[in-house]
Amino acid sequence: MKKIIPLWLIFFSATLNICFAQNAALQNFTIDAKATTETKALFYNLRNVSGKGVLFGQQDALMYGIGWKGEFDKSDVKSVTGSHPALFGWDLESIAKNDSQENQIRNAEKLKSYCLQAYKMGGINTLSWHVQNFVTGKNYYDTTNCVSAILPGGGKHKEFTVALDKVASFIKSLKSDKGVAVPVIFRPFHENTGNWFWWGKPFCTAQEYKTLWQFTVQYLRDKKGLHNILYAYSPDRISGNFENYMDRYPGDNYVDVLGFDNYYELKDINDEKSIALAVKSIGQICNYAISKNKIAALTETGQEKIVQPNWFTTVFKKIIGDVAASKISYIMVWRNANTGHFYAPYPGHQSEQDFKDFYNNTRTLFLKDVGREMYKTQNDKQNN
């Protein structure tokens, strides 16, 4: 059984020594000069976890799992370990796409309830956006040229800003019982180095992608006045080629979290060459993030159906065994949709014990390990 130590105690621990933000001098390293106190604290605490612990997250963890759907305070991760993930991934597709107003309201309220539940428990919310193709009206897999059309001056720019308004309205609606704006990590236009989304590398120039990203940040932060967002940049695997990672990087003034998605190179723990490339990539991203006072993350990963029972402990051992890669702040696996498509163990699965061992590792951080400490400053703790 994992020994649960409140994260404020970890602050004093010689093992982790996490330094939480000070109220009196809470430095703002986010890209938003007007970031809320809770958002600055989340950034500061995520950054300072680096090298001492790694937060674990999963997509849609509270929504459904293997054999269940919509049960309050349940997740497959909790069913196996006794704790929810520390980080919860959600997607904005259902609240931003063209649909009836009734469906949009219903979808937004449902997603809002999960985000608030996660925040109330102390979890971190990260939002991706599988966004429709504004030129054809089809989904994100339609790779008809779209980026140039939605940039300022493009024929579909208005449609894009309408969708951004929906995103902004949703994020603005995320308020605690005390009216506090809930911080979120927003991860738009992900896996942009791939060829499966319309914002992918073959379908727009590097400058068009950068302009799209920069416009999105400026629209939400400056025009819509949202100051509870951390922005995460997450291309697909780069195979140790950091120049490829930076090719479409929108700039330090537009990114808080440097992440990347990597399923392919981590899908087989017997493929030492691929895993070595993945770990090298993580290390490169961590080194750059640290040099710029930013956060590094493995924003999507996992092995579908976890066909190798010791996948979690093996991959994690490789990551924390590397001097550079061990500085990563969080790792998120994809969803548990059904028995043919899942990325975290469920009770009775062959990888259940391995995942318990992963959970019991002193370097992994789940919800029980962090409580509500990720949104607090050290002065908050001293006053409690």
Closest CA to 87 of 183, 206, 228: 183
* Candidate list 38, 208, 265, 300, residue with the active-site label: 300
| The pair of three-digit structure tokens given for residue 300, joined into one six-digit string | 């999507």
Instruction: Give 350's contacts (C-beta < 8 A, 6+ positions apart).
Output: 306, 309
Task: Outline where the chain has alpha helix (H).
Answer: 7-10, 37-49, 76-81, 93-96, 101-121, 147-150, 157-173, 206-218, 242-246, 272-291, 311-320, 352-360, 367-370, 378-383
* Candidate list 191, 208, 265, 373, residue with the active-site label: 191
Q: Is residue 243 flagged as an active site residue? A: no
Distance CA 158, CA 156 (A): 6
Closest CA to 127 of 226, 41, 49: 226
Distance CA 211, CA 295 (A): 22
Distances (CA, A) of 203 to 141, 144, 206, 345: 12, 8, 10, 36
- DSSP 8-state assignment for residue 12: T
Q: Is residue 300 flagged as an active site residue? A: yes
* Structure-derived torsion over alpha carbons of residues 116, 119, 125, 129, reported in degrees to the nearest 10: 10
Helix-, strand-, coil-residue percentages of the chain, each rounded to 5: 40, 15, 45
Amino acid at position 338, single letter: N
Distance CA 363, CA 5 (A): 12
User: How do 68-69 and 64-65 pair as beta strands?
Assistant: antiparallel
Beta bridge partners, 91, equal: 128
List, by residue number, the catalytic residues: 191, 300
